[in-house]
Structure 1
């Protein structure tokens, strides 16, 4: 089952990436004649008004096809809506849109997870320092300090809820 889950996650990432290229091209009026998820033989195909949409046998990639690269295309080579006939900035937007779509998708997934699940307790700081396992022959153990105890202050100085608490306690113990 984990192999299928990995393939599904990969397919979603590829779909988002290729949709980035596709949406960037179409929003600028650039002609797109193919949108495919996967490689190899076609499993499912739908012919839209301008674009052929396909799902292929091997979901390890995908592509957005432009008439520029299609020798069977009936679009004249000097058509201003071909990718190669567009200004460099338009082409750069289409080329980079896949990566940008993946970054936006990752941000949205992270925000959604934090909104639903929250921040794991392990990633939040609490006041004090949690004691790690203590050797039964140590002075700390004989003084009554046990694993899981929380030291809130040392020498009258509170240990704040931050990553500086442990080094502060260590320094105090050493002196």
Structure 2
């Protein structure tokens, strides 16, 4: 019974991770297509459909002149503009559509370039925005505390042990484990480590990182 419960928990965690990944991918796709859509509207192009997903339409609603749709396969999306349809390339050579001032092909080269590149630009801008939000609100990090020490490695030879916390490397403060890893990985030569042992007593040692691998390690 206990094994079954563990298996069910693993399945639930896997499904949760898959669901979160799908939501994240859907958000990236939505923002990408929103960039195309917004610039197309700004250039006065007739947008026939704004769709998240491919395949059979699960839900759609027409608002103004554009149909907004959610399709079955979530790994993609598209903005269908008059005169620009990957599924029907003949629209690009249709003279009647080309003469319509609101068609994609009737727009200037600059406007078409702006529409096509807007998706990637939107992703870049929103990525920068999300980084600012995350770093402003905070995110969990591991402290610059030693989890374990491998015998024979420089930290072990210097007398450091699990539970010890490193606060400074070469007089530069470190507070998180990623900062500690980066400082060691980018080092060249001996490192002066300062911090406190697990019992609270201070230490100051100098170690020579092991550079035999891909990057220096202690």
Same fold (TM over 0.5): yes
* 1:53 alignment counterpart: 68
Question: Which residue among 48, 53, 57 is the counterpart of 1:33?
Answer: 48
Query: How far apart, CA to CA, are the structure 2 residues paired with 1:32 and 1:152?
Result: 57
Superposed CA offset, 1:96-150 (max 9, x none): 000111111111111111111158466xxx8xxx8x73749x8744xxx545264
1:1-175 aligned at under 5 Å gives the runs: 1-68=16-83, 69=85, 76-117=97-138, 120=141, 133=149, 135=151, 140-141=158-159, 146=161, 148=164, 150=166, 159-161=171-173, 163=183, 167-169=189-191
In the TM superposition, residue 14 of structure 1 has moved relative to its aligned partner by 0.6
| Secondary structure at the counterpart of residue 24 of structure 1 | helix
Q: How many residues end up aligned between the 2 structures?
A: 159
Taking structure 1 as reference, are residues 149 and 120 closer, same or farther at Cα in structure 2, changes over 3 Å only?
Answer: closer
Cα 1:23–1:151 change in 2 (3 A) is closer
SS in 1 for 2:70: strand
Q: 1:45 Cα deviation (Å)?
A: 0.8
Per-residue deviation, 1:159? 2.9
List runs of 5+ in structure 2 lacking aligned partners. 1-15, 175-182, 193-205, 209-218
Higher relative contact order by CA 8 Å / sep ≥ 6: 1 or 2? Answer: 1
Residue 42 of structure 1, CA deviation: 0.9
Structure 1 length as normaliser, TM-score? 0.73
Could you tell me the TM-score, scaled by structure 2's length?
0.60
Q: CA deviation at 1:85?
A: 1.1
Gap runs ≥5 in structure 1: none
RMSD over aligned CA atoms reads 3.5
